[in-house]
Amino acid sequence: MLIFHLFLKNNQVLGIGSGSTIVHAVQRLAERVKQENLTIVCIPTSFQARQLILQNGLTLSDLDRNPELDVAIDGADEVDCDLNLIKGGGGCLTQEKIVAGYAKCFIVIADYRKKSESLGEQWKRGIPIEVIPMAYVPVTRTLTKNFGGAAELRMAVSKAGPVVTDNGNFILDWKFDKVHKWSEVNTAIKMIPGVVETGLFIDMAEVVYFGMEDGSVSVREKQPR
């Protein structure tokens, strides 16, 4: 996988994201670590990522021991032309943002269906917002009052009741009805009492690699300001 030749070096601390795309990346990472006898320490973004690291024989660590990461690698639900992301379809947005935020370089791997010009073009399930359980009703009302659209409590599929995150919280999926100034909206939503974090990743990704339908890779890089 191209990204590991470009970004991965010996003695690095690496953030490992969640989701189906990352499974293949971690398998390739483990192969290279073994072949080249590299010393790599991995920080997971979720219980799933933690299991993936252990299953592939990689060294597991945490932010207590490694508070600064060299590179974080994760997927995305959608990427716009400015490299703004929607993440959290799998429910791990808060820990994903923490790990990405403490990395010197944040790299995204996604398939071609996640590539768009504007957020909402491809991803129709809304922006995930992690909330404290006792506040989900007033947060829902405030979201729709202030920003329009509709917010729904995400319900579990294989059990009764709502989805519960690794942090013990609920997730609202906010289906917006217009294009916003995402940086401003992200900040405003985070100021609502009861909101833990949003699935808007603004100005965080350095580069996005899209796996195309024909097997090629399309690269979208952060533009200098």
Would you please indicate which residues are annotated as catalytic (active-site) residues? 96
CA 206 to chain centre: 14
- Do the bridges between strand 103-111 and strand 69-74 make them parallel or antiparallel, or are there none, so unpaired? parallel
Residues 6+ apart with CB under 8 A from 103: 15, 69, 70, 71, 72
Nearest to 120 by CA among 173, 197, 45: 173
Residue type, 186: N
The amino acid sitting at 172 is L
Chain-centroid distance of CA 190 in Å reads 17
SS3 64: coil
> Which position has the token pair 């470009």?
6
To which residue do tokens 């890089």 refer? 221
